[in-house]
Amino acid sequence: MSAATAAGALSPRFRPRGMTWLVWRQHRATLWSALGLLVALVGALVWVKFAGHAYLDDHGLRAGCEGDVTCGEADWQALSTFRARYGDLLYQIGWLTQYLPWVVGLFVAGPMVARELESGTYKLAWSQSASPLRWLAAKLATVTVAALAGFSLLSAVHTWTWQSFPADVLTAQHWQYTFDMIGPAPVAHALLAIALGTLVGLLVKRTIVAMGVTLVLSALVIWALDVFRPYVISPVMTLYPGRPSPPDSAWVVERGGIGADVGRIKSLWCDMDISDAQCLAKHGLTDWYAELHPRSHLWPMQWAETGILVGVALVLAAAAVWLLRHRSQAPSATSYFRKAAA
């Protein structure tokens, strides 16, 4: 037997096959497009990092914008150019890093799950060797692995680039404004979006409707995260003799006046013609206060939120598995399988 004949005889063993390969074939255009977008975004972030730092050094902006020192002595025209050329691009890529995970949820809910149920093509797989759970796992394996790997890389490179610039150079991108764009947050959002899209797709079974429902629910989740995120770990209470003036690097959750008898008065306001002490006395208060998260809370908050979202995603995934098992054991499904076997 010649070497070519032997290779031809062995090649079918290594030829990709099975449901996972079928999913890849069905959605390869989308996956290749996503890979191309990932490469473009990562390349742009690397360019922003090196070109941006070269610009800072060439114009002497680094020394004037370190730490908590303001950029008062820096060249404002050069600083404005830097923010428009590099800062805006960094923010736009961060915006995509923040919201693209939820787009994956729409893709899973509609084309990957609901369309199969709507068209009835799932019956072919269920009536053959694939169980309902294996069918669902094959549907989600490729997109889940690709999404988690892609967003891990994108978020890591974005965080690497974002952290490399002095905070005062990009004042609009302090950590409290970029929380969803950095660290493990985008990866956790992707996992939650996939679980949410899967459950909605199984429940609704209509492609367009499933995508619409997933969009609404994703918007509600994003809103809830914005509302409850400041309390995922306890903020720090700080008292001030005058009106609170926390550093720009702090995430201020609440501020106002406080007194033993009155308690807290949020967003305390007084006329400008009276002193801070007179303002407190007028309302029976003793101190000004601010509840805030210092910058040191960034990563504890990131990992706390990630743990919560992963837990919610696991609950949704368990609900999807239960729903699939329940429907696959329904009388209509059982009669279909018996008819197919006959």
Taking CA atoms, 251 is separated from 19, 177, 248, in Å, by: 48, 9, 8
* Alpha carbon distance 317, 65 (integer Å): 47
d(CA 90, CA 154): 12
* Residues of the chain under the 70 pLDDT cut: 1-27, 63-74, 119-131, 328-342
pLDDT, one tens digit per residue, over 313-325 is: 999 999 998 988 8
What one-letter code names the amino acid at 204? V
The residue ranges of every structural domain in the chain are 16-232+297-341, 251-293
d(CA 309, CA 317): 12
Asked whether 195 and 204 are in contact (CB, 8 A), the reply is no
Give percent above pLDDT 70 in the chain: 80
pTM of the full predicted structure? Answer: 0.82
pLDDT at position 6: 45
What is the rounded distance in angstroms from the CA atom of residue 269 to the CA atom of residue 327?
59
Model pLDDT, residue 78: 84
Angle 163-168-172 from CA coordinates, rounded to 5°: 80
219-260 tens-digit pLDDT: 999 999 999 999 999 999 888 877 778 887 889 999 888 887
Q: What is the pLDDT of residues 252-297, one digit of tens each?
A: 999 888 887 778 878 777 777 788 788 888 778 888 888 999 999 9
